[in-house]
Amino acid sequence: MPYQSWLEPIIYVLLLIGLTPLAGFYIFRVLDGGRFRGDVLLRPLETAIYRLSGIDPARPMAWREYLLCLLLFNGLGVAAVFGLQLAQGALPLNPQGFAAVSPLLAFNTAVSFATNTNWQAYSGEVTLSYFTQMLGLTVQNFLSAATGLAVMAALARGLTRREDSGLGNFWSDVVRATVYLLLPLSLLLAVVLMSQGVIQNFGAYVHATTLAGQDQLLPMGPAASQIAIKQLGTNGGGFFGANSAHPFENPTPLSNFLEMFAILILPAGCAFAFGLMVKSRRHGAALLAAMFILFLASLTVGLWAESRPDPSLFNRPLLEGKETRFGTGPSVIWAMATTVASNGSVNAMHDSMAPLTGGLALFNIMLGEVVFGGVGSGLYGMVLFVALTVFIAGLMVGRTPEYLGKKIEARDITCAAVGVLAPGAALLLLSSLACVLPAGLSSLANRGPHGLTEVLYAFASAANNNGSAFAGLNANTPFYNLLTALAMLVGRFGVIVPVLMLAGNLARKRYTPPSAGTFPTEGLMFVVLLTGVILIVGALTFFPALSLGPIMEQFLMAGGRTF
């Protein structure tokens, strides 16, 4: 790969590092509940929502009530999106006259968007009306991201409050995250994307004649508004089937860079904001450092792997499946950025990348998407690994581990272990079923290790609420619609429940001042140990499966064999 191809990744990383503190400070001010400069424009909207909904934003909730409200809210979201899909044939803003979505696919899609996964077993331009896309999917893009931010805020309060059962107010957290953070940023990004050519209209599809004289049907629709929040909210659901490889979603190199940047800026900012929330900027910086180390490692190896010639193609470059408007470099940046965040968008087909690159994308997801991760969700997932890290450090010195002044005891470690292992267990168990049942094997486009990677990637994407597709697997079958929906529910709420339980446990504990035996959760030693724990847990859990999939395929490709 020529040196010019490394220029965009370097600019991307430097800009991300430079703007992360600004994004983090803004997230902190929003979730802190106080007033800040500029909020006067949106304060009437916040107040109106509270009045119409009968919400008292100042009333604190214990973790059980906070969790109950969250589950009720998300359950209603699933029901609403499910109902919209079944009734879309009779609803407005449907110029193409799309009929109702089949019940199993509608259920899968409803679960997908409510869990911030945005896994899509359909092609949007031939399945969903504008009304369903806007009122169902786009709304859930906002609310699922706001839910992740709310849980992160509740966890931070659990760490800072002393002998107190309150974790804040769920409704207030969701409203503030939506009104002050996600709405204005999405509006701004949507306008910029429209200036680059991303479409935003309500017209019927357009018939055009190609240069070859063939008739072509051009899909239309309100795409820019959904593209903006799908990236900022780490959702990733494409308005069109080709997702961000489609020129109407991603028309120019500038739109490509902005969409890539939008994927990671808020998740990275969440780590900085968390440090402010728990009154330890150095701890937030340590979490960011661990995230950047893992991201840069996967990005560097991915760029190297895609720059190598393919022996099975007579040492020609790996260009199949890449978006030729952007090139190999941006395709790899996008693949790594989306898989370290819970963002399912793609601008190239991961199925066509070198086995090592595809395996890295898969491993990023398998780690639980805590390397930045989703908006809010990546941070609280990382804190579960922090709890395991300080527990291991405590065992080393023979004393009760502490985290930011709170003792980490058996119940806390149980919560952390359940939250870390639940998505992985769903991934491996459901992948095993797919590999032995005809209903799972019949959807494969490839056999051998590549076929195994397709199955692993599908369930990893679902169980870790990523949503990106490896391609090559027909997921719109009863088997995959039901099992990926189950994986998405386990991956989302199998983590949120123990996180809120952990937050409730910590909130009730006394503050313990640090002593000479306290393991510091900042500095180089902590970053190294935290990174090691993440990698070791990932390696011990998934290395056997990865060895039979992308690792084996990489060695076979070097010998000129493909699948």
Q: Tell whether the torsion through CA atoms of 105, 78, 140 and 167 is positive or negative.
A: negative
For residue 161 the two structure tokens come to: 């409050």
* CA-closest candidate to residue 115, choices 461, 544, 540: 461
d(CA 29, CA 113): 27
pLDDT of residue 213: 87
Q: Which two tokens stand for residue 278?
A: 């728990």
Residue whose pair of structure tokens reads 């991956």 in the numeric block:
491
Instruction: Write out the chain's pLDDT in tens, 563 residues.
Output: 555 567 889 999 999 999 999 999 999 999 998 777 777 889 999 999 999 999 999 999 999 999 999 999 999 999 999 999 999 999 999 999 999 999 999 999 999 999 999 999 999 999 999 999 999 999 999 999 999 999 999 999 999 998 888 899 999 999 999 999 999 999 999 999 999 999 999 999 999 998 888 899 999 999 999 999 999 999 988 899 889 999 999 999 999 999 999 999 999 999 999 999 999 999 999 999 999 999 999 999 998 888 877 666 666 666 666 777 787 888 999 999 999 999 989 988 888 888 889 999 999 999 988 999 999 999 999 999 999 999 998 887 777 789 999 999 999 999 999 999 999 999 999 999 999 999 999 988 888 898 999 999 999 999 999 999 887 889 999 999 999 999 999 999 999 999 999 999 999 999 988 877 788 899 999 999 999 999 998 888 999 999 999 989 888 877 777 76
The C-alpha angle with vertex 115 and arms to 97 and 506, in degrees rounded to 5, equals 160
How far apart (Å, rounded) are the C-alpha atoms in residues 196 and 171?
Answer: 36
pLDDT for 316:
64
Q: How confident is the model at residue 311, as a pLDDT?
A: 67
Nearest to 442 by CA among 470, 487, 484, 473: 473
- For position 62, what pLDDT does the model report? 96
What backbone torsions phi and psi does residue 164 show, to the nearest 5 degrees? -135, 135
* Per-residue model confidence (pLDDT) at position 132: 97
Buried b (16+ CB within 10 A) or exposed e, 242-277: bbbbbbbbbbbeebbbbbbbbbbbbbbbbbbbbbbb
Q: Say what the pLDDT of residue 48 is.
A: 95
Question: What is the per-residue DSSP string for 134-159?
Answer: IIIIIHHHHHHHHHHHHHHHHHHHHH
Within 13 Å of residue 367, how many CA atoms lie on the same side as its CB? 30
- What pTM, to 2 d.p., does this model score? 0.94
Angle between helices 7-32 and 328-340 (to 10 degrees): 30
Helix 7-32 and helix 253-277: axis angle, to 10°? 40
Based on the number of CB atoms within 10 Å of its own CB, is 211 exposed (0-12), middle (13-18) or buried (19 or more)?
Answer: exposed
Q: How far is CA 388 from the centre of its chain?
A: 22
- Give backbone dihedrals phi and psi of 332, rounded to 5 degrees, phi first: -70, -40
Per DSSP (E only), the strands in 375-454 are: 402-403, 406-407
Q: Name the packing angle between helices 253-277 and 223-232 (round to 10°).
A: 40
pLDDT score for 440: 92
The radius of gyration of the chain's CA atoms, rounded to the nearest angstrom, is: 23
Q: Looking at residue 378, what is its pLDDT?
A: 95
pLDDT value, residue 318: 66
Torsion, Cα 441 336 499 105, to 10 degrees, reads -40
Whole-number Å distance between alpha carbons of 152 and 376 = 5
**Which residues are paired to 406 by β-bridges?**
403
For residue 246, what are the CA distances in angstroms to 251, 318, 468? 7, 20, 15
